[in-house]
Structure 1
Amino acid sequence: MEEQLSLEQCMAELEEVADKLRQPELDIEEMMRLFERGSALAACCRKLLAEYKGRFEKINASSEGND
């Protein structure tokens, strides 16, 4: 992906792509383009969620160590 999108941006665009893929009049080339974009956006979401999870776990472990 060209620029770093926020999780909210990735999810919103992924939803738009999914909506477009539901249109019956799509030709195969457009369908493939949308599928590729959707796959990249899903990967973006997974990456960001993994980063947030790691940060949360680090903060949680640090706060447990301060008890």
Structure 2
Amino acid sequence: MNRNFLPDPKSNSYEIGVLLGDIVEYLHNFYQKLTTDLFVNENELGEMVKSLDTCVEKIIQIKEMLVK
């Protein structure tokens, strides 16, 4: 991979990209769980809700970075 096209790891663009990648991963896992399991127990449901909370936190971080 040609690293000349990647943003500086210390820049907001890089950090935002990492946060967006995390959000996509959380949402993908959440969607897979919803579409493949007919029954979800309480622990799994709690984990799913935590993953959505984490997504919201990451979105708020991105918003704060963009507002600066």
**What's the TM-score bracket when you normalise by the shorter of the two chains?**
0.3 to 0.5
Normalising by structure 1, what TM-score? Answer: 0.48
Normalising by structure 2, what TM-score? Answer: 0.47
Bigger CA radius of gyration: 1
